[in-house]
Amino acid sequence: MGTSALLSLGMRAMFANQAALQTIGQNIANANTPGYSRQSVTLTTPEGQFTGSGYFGKGVNVQTVTRAHNEFLTKEAAGSKSVAFMDATHATQLIQLEKLFPPGERGLGQAANQFLNAMVDVSSRPSDLSARQVVLGRANELASRFASTGQQLADLQAGVVSDLRTNVDVVNQLSKQIAAANDQIARANGTGHTSNDLLDKRDQLISELSQYVKVSTLPSSDGTVGVFIGGGQRLVLGNQAQDLTLTPDPYDGSRVQLSIDEANGARVLDESSLTGGSLSALLKYQNKDLQDARNLVGQMAVAMAERVNGQQKLGLDLSGTAGSNIFSYAPPRALPSNTNARNPDGSFASTLSLSVTDATLLRAESYVLKADPSGVPGQYVMTTRPGGTSVSLSDTQIEQQYGFTVTAGGAPMGPNDSFLLEPVAQAAVTMKRELDAPSGIAAASPITAVTGTANTGTATIASLSVANSNFAPAQYPVAIVFQGVNNTDPSKPPGVDYVMTMNDGTIVNGTWYPGEAMGNYPLPAGDFGFRLALNGVPKAGDTVNIDPTKSVATNNGNAQAFLGLQKETFIGRGQNGVGATLTDAYATAMSDIGSRVQGAAYLSEVSTSVASNAESVRSSQAGVNLDEEAARLMQYQQGYQAAAKVLQTGQTIFDELLRIAAR
Q: pLDDT of 640-652, one tens digit each?
A: 888 888 888 877 8
| Residue 486: predicted pLDDT | 85
Instruction: Give the pairing of strands 495-501 and 507-512.
Output: antiparallel
| Residue 601: predicted pLDDT | 95
Is it the case that residue 495 has pLDDT exceeding 60? Answer: yes
Mean pLDDT of 37-41: 89
CA 136 to chain CA mean position, Å:
34
DSSP H stretches of helix in 435-556: none
Residue 522 confidence class, pLDDT cut points 50, 70, 90? low
- 130: buried, middle or exposed (CB in 10 Å: 19+, 13-18, 0-12)? exposed
Q: What average pLDDT is seen over the chain?
A: 89
| Residue 525: predicted pLDDT | 64
Angle subtended by helix axes 582-622 and 291-313, to nearest 10: 170
Could you tell me the sign of the dihedral formed by the alpha carbons of 75, 76, 77, 78, in that order? positive
Residue 244 confidence class, pLDDT cut points 50, 70, 90? very high
Quote the CA–CA distance of 552 and 316 in Å, as a whole number: 7
Mean pLDDT of 177-192: 87
CA distances (Å), 641 to each of 5, 19, 127, 564, 648, in order?
19, 14, 108, 97, 10
- 641: buried, middle or exposed (CB in 10 Å: 19+, 13-18, 0-12)? exposed
310-343 burial, b for 16+ CB within 10 Å, e for fewer? ebbbbbbbbeeeebebbbbbbebbbbbbeebeee
252 sits in which H/E element? none
Could you tell me the sign of the dihedral formed by the alpha carbons of 70, 71, 72, 73, in that order? positive
- 563: buried, middle or exposed (CB in 10 Å: 19+, 13-18, 0-12)? middle
Report DSSP state, residue 136: H
| Residue 576: predicted pLDDT | 72
Upstream peptide bond of 412 is cis (omega within 30 degrees of 0): no
Task: Judge whether 168 and 244 are in contact, CB under 8 Å.
Answer: yes
Least confident residue range of 90-99, 106-115, 148-157: 106-115
| Residue 516: predicted pLDDT | 85
| Residue 524: predicted pLDDT | 64
Mean pLDDT of 344-364: 93
Of the chain, the end-to-end C-alpha distance in Å amounts to 23
This prediction's pTM: 0.86
Mean pLDDT of 587-606: 93
